[in-house]
């Protein structure tokens, strides 16, 4: 009834789903949703594209990874790039990626192969309703394009900035965290009337401090006449 009132010309396209299997499972929709949120998208030949967002642009890196089809490096690179061109066009529509997009294709020596990949991307983008401006693949294998954003990007409405890494995608490793904590311990022992310092730290950081920096901790205790107690806390994570 809704379609008959609002979009009568499309009402015939709507069919009631009656299968016992869940709709999303039946048509693998859940997998498509996961793909839309994933940083890495696999290609049929074994290669992959990696999509990263920065303040200035969206970068798309194409790598051959496990790609084995093709008799030589040039053929493998071209085949993987062609697959990537199709998938990149699809992901741009699916995620509504807008603004400046830089694609780092696998290097190809022959200019005809570069032109073939460029044309494949242009053909794949023809069904895109957004306005798109293309450059050519440079000698460094980079292709720049500008795409009109039709709506907020998919990630903007469904993601928040990671509170642990603050959106950088990186956190301190165990050694770096341990050294930072060691400096904090030293600062705390210097405070007046400090008889003991109790520190709750992640398990792996505790292990590193006790195994690799026990001598330094002992020196701090003797010099400042202060007891240092490390308490491993499993739920804690490195910052």
3-state SS track over 98-114: CEEEEEECCCCCCHHHH
Query: Given this model, what pLDDT does residue 67 score?
Result: 55
Query: How, if at all, do strands 142-147 and 132-134 pair?
Result: antiparallel
Query: Given this model, what pLDDT does residue 123 score?
Result: 95
Do 174-232 and 27-158 have the same topology in CATH?
no
Q: Mean pLDDT across the stretch 40-49? A: 91
What is the domain class of 27-158 according to CATH? alpha beta
> What distance in Å separates the CA atoms of residue 171 and residue 165, rounded to the nearest whole number?
6
| 226, 196 Cβ separation under 8 angstroms | yes
> What distance in Å separates the CA atoms of residue 205 and residue 232, rounded to the nearest whole number?
8
Identify which has the larger pLDDT, 179 or 27.
179
Query: Given this model, what pLDDT does residue 69 score?
Result: 54
Percent of the chain with pLDDT over 90: 56
Residue 51 bridge partners (DSSP) = 60
35 by DSSP, 3-state: which? helix
126 by DSSP, 3-state: which? coil
Task: Output the CA angle 41-129-36, nearest 5 degrees.
Answer: 20
Q: What rounded mean pLDDT belongs to the chain?
A: 88
96-148 pLDDT, tens per residue?
898 999 999 999 999 999 999 999 999 999 989 899 999 999 988 899 999 99
The whole-model pTM stands at 0.68
Query: Given this model, what pLDDT does residue 30 score?
Result: 74
> What distance in Å separates the CA atoms of residue 231 and residue 196, rounded to the nearest whole number?
13
| 105, 117 Cβ separation under 8 angstroms | yes
| 179, 210 Cβ separation under 8 angstroms | no
Would you list the domain boundaries of the chain? 27-158, 174-232
Identify which has the larger pLDDT, 68 or 141.
141
Query: Given this model, what pLDDT does residue 33 score?
Result: 75
Domain 174-232, CATH homologous superfamily name and number = Ribonuclease E, catalytic domain (3.40.1260.20)
């Amino acid at each position: 009834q809704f379609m008959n009132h609002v979009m009568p010309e499309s009402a015939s396209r709507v069919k009631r789903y009656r299968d016992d299997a869940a709709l999303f499972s039946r048509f693998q929709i859940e997998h498509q949703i996961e793909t839309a949120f994933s940083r890495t998208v696999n290609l049929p030949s074994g290669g992959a594209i990696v999509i990263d967002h920065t303040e200035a642009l969206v970068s798309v890196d194409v790598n051959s990874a496990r790609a084995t089809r093709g008799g030589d490096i040039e053929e493998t690179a071209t085949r993987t790039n062609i697959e990537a061109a199709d998938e990149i066009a699809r992901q741009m529509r699916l995620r509504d990626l807008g603004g400046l997009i830089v694609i780092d294709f696998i290097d190809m020596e022959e200019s005809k192969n570069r032109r073939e990949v460029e044309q494949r991307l242009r053909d794949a983008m023809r069904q895109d309703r957004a306005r798109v401006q293309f450059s050519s693949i440079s000698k460094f294998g980079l292709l720049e394009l500008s795409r009109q954003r039709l709506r907020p990007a998919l990630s903007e409405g469904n993601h928040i900035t990671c509170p642990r890494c603050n959106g950088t995608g990186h956190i301190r490793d165990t050694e770096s965290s341990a050294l930072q904590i060691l400096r904090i311990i030293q600062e705390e022992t210097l405070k007046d009337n400090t008889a003991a310092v109790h520190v709750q730290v992640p398990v792996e950081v505790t292990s590193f401090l006790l195994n690799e920096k026990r001598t330094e901790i002992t020196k701090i205790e003797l010099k400042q006449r202060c007891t240092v107690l490390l308490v491993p806390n499993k739920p804690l994570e490195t910052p």
